[in-house]
Amino acid sequence: MQLISLVGAALVLSAFVASQLGRMSTEGAAYRLMNLAGSVILTIVAVLGRVWGFVVLNGVWALVSLAGIVRLLRGRSARIEAAPAEPGGVTSME
């Protein structure tokens, strides 16, 4: 269980450190997915251990990360729908 929780913490902290060093954008999918994966892992570990403060902390972190991913996906689909069709009827996917 300790190894699993360390993996979750490493995901969240790696994303944070990379963003602070300017190597990863907090607006990108990688940052948001790392936060979501890490916080979900830590939430599960906290639930199993009945550590309710950490369940709340990591559960909220996971929900906020998920909301960011949903916003990112909605923004991409809106851009795809709004993109002008290229010759031959193909839409640009950037």
Residue 78: which pLDDT band, with cuts at 50, 70 and 90?
A: low
The domain ranges of the chain are 2-82
Torsion angle of C-alpha atoms 78, 83, 85, 91, degrees rounded to 10? -60
CA distance 7 to 4: 5
pLDDT in tens, 29-69: 999 999 999 999 999 999 999 999 999 999 999 999 999 99
The span from the first CA to the last CA of the chain, in angstroms, equals 41
